[in-house]
């Protein structure tokens, strides 16, 4: 019979070799079991629904892309399976990616270049609900915290429609083109933009887009 104190881990990463290596390292520990491996967000959620263990952590690689990317998966797990611990995992991640993962609901971040002992210890600590950062330089802490606050400001201050206008504006379209894309009047778009500038405390579209880009909410020049 498996002890309740053993940590069950679901490893999620798009790269099979990385997945397998993490699984071997984790499963070799006497206090951990790898319950499932997944290469996509959908596979991860399917595995989570099958699990009947109470002490479970999900290790989410930040390499998942597409509509259901790593951040979407982290937020979905946090919303629908709040009792699970979720730790983001990546290689060469920057402060923005880490802050975005934490804002999405991750309990911490583990860098794949970390010492294996530190990596596993952080995985254990994260599973208890402790916020952990394994790998990022200490001087990144301020930038990571700033990124979380920037994203919180943009997400909580702007309405869904204003965020939509800002995302389309990031493609470099004019107010008239944005209006055509969204099926509204050009004047409505300029009104939305004015409110966006006011709420974010900026004076230009470039500054608003830069803030939203830094928060990870829009991608400059990329259509939806």
| pLDDT score recorded for residue 148 | 73
For 92, the token pair is: 């060469």
| pLDDT score recorded for residue 220 | 58
| pLDDT score recorded for residue 26 | 95
Burial of 183 per CB tally in 10 Å (0-12, 13-18, 19+): exposed
| pLDDT score recorded for residue 23 | 95
Across the chain, which has 224 residues, the per-10-residue mean pLDDT values are 71 95 94 95 95 90 91 92 92 84 88 91 88 80 73 78 88 91 92 88 84 70 47
| pLDDT score recorded for residue 1 | 39
Residue with tokens 């500038």: 197
pTM for this model (two decimals) = 0.71
| pLDDT score recorded for residue 48 | 95
Task: Sketch out the chain's domains with CATH numbers.
Answer: 7-143 (3.40.50.2300), 158-214 (1.10.10.10)
| pLDDT score recorded for residue 97 | 84
| pLDDT score recorded for residue 50 | 92
């Amino acid at each position: 019979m498996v002890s309740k104190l053993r940590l069950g881990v679901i490893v999620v990463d798009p790269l099979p070799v990385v997945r397998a290596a993490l699984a071997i390292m984790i499963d070799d520990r006497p206090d951990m079991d790898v319950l499932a491996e997944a290469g996509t967000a959908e596979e991860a959620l399917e595995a989570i629904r099958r699990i009947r263990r109470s002490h479970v952590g999900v290790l989410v690689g930040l390499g998942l892309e597409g509509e259901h990317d790593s951040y979407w998966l982290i937020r979905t797990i946090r919303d629908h399976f709040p009792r699970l611990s979720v730790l983001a995992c990546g290689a060469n991640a920057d402060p923005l990616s880490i802050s975005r993962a934490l804002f999405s609901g991750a309990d911490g971040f583990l860098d794949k270049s970390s010492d294996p002992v530190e990596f596993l210890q952080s995985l254990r600590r994260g599973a208890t609900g402790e916020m952990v950062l394994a790998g990022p330089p200490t001087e990144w802490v301020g930038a990571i915290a700033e990124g979380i606050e920037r994203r919180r400001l943009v997400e909580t201050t702007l309405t869904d429609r204003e965020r939509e206008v800002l995302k389309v504006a990031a493609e470099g379209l004019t107010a008239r083109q944005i209006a055509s894309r969204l099926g509204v009047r050009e004047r409505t778009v300029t009104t939305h933009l004015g409110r966006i500038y006011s709420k974010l405390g900026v004076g230009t579209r470039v500054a608003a887009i830069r803030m939203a880009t830094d928060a990870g909410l829009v991608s400059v020049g990329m259509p939806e």
